[in-house]
Amino acid sequence: MFDVIIAGGGPTGMMLAAELRLHDVRVVVLEQGMAPTRQVRALGLHARTVEVLDQRGLLERFRPHIKEYPLTGYFAGIMKPAPSRLDTTYDKVHGIPQTTTERLIAERCTELGAEVRRGCAVAGLDQDDAGVTATLADGSQVRGRYLVGCDGGRSTVRRLLGIEFPGEPSGKEWLLSELEVTLSPQEMAEAAAELGSPAVRFGPAPHDLGAYRMVLEAKEVAADRTAEVTLEEFKQRLRETAGTDFGAHTPRFVTRFGDGTRLATRYRDGRVFLAGDAAHVHPPLGGNGLNLGVQDAFNLGWKLAATLHGWAPADLLDSYEAERRPVAADVLDFLRAQGLLLTPEPGPQAVRRLFERLMDFDEVNRFLMEKVIGVGIRYDFGSDHPLVGRRLRDVPVKQGRLYDLMHAGRGVLLDQTGRLSVGSWADRVDHVVEVSEEVDVPAVLLRPDGYVAWVGEDQGSLAAQLTKWFGAAA
């Protein structure tokens, strides 16, 4: 029997498995595909996701694969200079193909001892007071104390639970492919310059020399959006929109995606949870999907581990939905607003012109950009202090950097007074007596996911927050 069954071996599932194994939780990942996907949908990591990797000591293995580009103010295609004083060390665009991200997280997952089973599709679920039984497509069964559905927008786990997925269906659809062409690179560059059609975008595949990545608007939304797109269908649509198919051949993949926006009505059903695209889907504008899913996993992992090890407060697992569902709802609204301003109607275009002027104000530009890159999130912890509920960016300390102290996935008390103590919570929280010029409060209590749970200098109020987030004293 496993502690946690994870359905889906994409970035969300693998990140969750790595987080759980960091705390010696027995994990199995059930992935339907026989091999890692070759589809590259996401092309980069937001600042908050880079912080997550840094907090777990993973960033160094990512760095050789990341291409950094200057960050600019961006909202609904409105480009402005980058705002000043962004609340993050990672104020760049971090380009990296999704396939590379998946591979590196999967390597970490298996290094830590997670079991990954490929070719395993969940077909049925049955839960009781002691655990969850997953029935696979071949009839075999896997038993675990908890199960997390990280199995994408068409989640089988969500369907089996009967969780509703309301929202707006796709009104537009795009075709995406990476393939080779008969034209030379010079001829392709000339064709791109002459095309001038917003319905087709293409450029070199970011991870595959000799291949090109092409995105084109479909004629209509397919009646069956699960149906495969053939190379001939893709080439026909290229000829219709660009006047040529560029001699396209040998596709790495051909797929479709839409602008549907949906949010699960709940993230938990007993011992089963949803994370990533299984819980929320949205248009690809801004590249939020992979990043939002990884951050879901980062929030849920330590809470599941705490519950399995017996020290979690009674309501800790419920805080996963309470914190992450509002974040997803906010992202969906943020993308809806951008999508509206990209439509040609006079009303939305008038609002767009207003935003173009508003974004000249640095505060407005910063507010929008911090929402884009994920560092503006604040959970409601019931405190008026501006730091509480926000993640703390990496700051220098005498021992090096704050994020270097968080690799083990434990809580951290950053104590600048030298008078405080974590007492009997020392098995769950590290007490670091340090002074940082960039932290202007006496002490900060950080949860394992880097969010500020408490600030102050009173031992009594600290003990109350230690109990709230880390359970009863040992």
Average pLDDT of every residue of the chain: 91
pLDDT at 23: 97
**On the CB side of 101, how many CA atoms lie within 13 Å of its CA?**
28
Amino acid at 381: F
Radius of gyration of the chain (CA): 23
pLDDT at 243: 81
Residue 366 has pLDDT above 90, yes or no: yes
CB 97 within 8 A of CB 36: no
Q: Enter the tokens of residue 321.
A: 């939905």
User: Helix, strand, coil proportions of the chain in percent (round to 5)?
Assistant: 35, 25, 40
The reply to whether the predicted model has a pTM over 0.85 is yes
* Residues 6 or more apart in contact with residue 191 via CB below 8 angstroms: 183, 242, 244, 246
Residue 14 has pLDDT above 90, yes or no: yes
Strand partners, 115: 28
pLDDT at 430: 97
pLDDT at 183: 83
User: How does residue 423 score in pLDDT terms, banded at 50, 70 and 90?
Assistant: very high
pLDDT at 362: 94
Strand partners, 68: 94
User: How does residue 257 score in pLDDT terms, banded at 50, 70 and 90?
Assistant: confident
Residue 57 has pLDDT above 60, yes or no: yes
Say how far apart CA 417 and CA 53 lie, in whole Å. Answer: 29
pLDDT at 195: 67
Q: Comparing 188 with 198, which gets the higher pLDDT?
A: 188
Amino acid at 161: L
Residue 42 has pLDDT above 90, yes or no: no
Residue 437 has pLDDT above 90, yes or no: no
User: How does residue 216 score in pLDDT terms, banded at 50, 70 and 90?
Assistant: confident
393 DSSP 8-state letter:
P
DSSP string, 54-67: HHTT-HHHHGGG-E
Tell me the pLDDT tens digit for each residue of 239-256.
888 888 888 899 888 888
pLDDT at 19: 97
**Taking the domain 2-43+97-166+262-342, which CATH number applies?**
3.50.50.60
Lowest-confidence pick of 35-49, 150-164, 353-367: 35-49
Tell me the pLDDT tens digit for each residue of 81-102.
989 889 999 988 898 888 899 9
DSSP string, 247-265: T-EEEEEEEEEE--EEE-S
Dihedral of alpha carbons 55, 58, 61, 67, sign: negative
Residue 182 has pLDDT above 60, yes or no: yes
How does strand 2-7 pair with strand 141-149?
parallel
**Taking the domain 396-470, which CATH number applies?**
3.40.30.120
Q: Determine the topology of domain 173-258 in CATH.
A: Alpha-Beta Plaits (3.30.70)
How many H helices and E strands in the chain? 12, 26
Residue 198 has pLDDT above 70, yes or no: no
pLDDT at 209: 67
User: How does residue 214 score in pLDDT terms, banded at 50, 70 and 90?
Assistant: confident
Say how far apart CA 115 and CA 108 lie, in whole Å. Answer: 12
Residue 196 has pLDDT above 60, yes or no: no
Say how far apart CA 281 and CA 467 lie, in whole Å. Answer: 35
Q: Where are the domains of the chain?
A: 2-43+97-166+262-342, 173-258, 396-470
User: How does residue 208 score in pLDDT terms, banded at 50, 70 and 90?
Assistant: low
Tell me the pLDDT tens digit for each residue of 259-284.
789 999 999 999 999 999 999 998 87
Residue 336 exposed, middle or buried by CB count within 10 Å (0-12, 13-18, 19+): middle
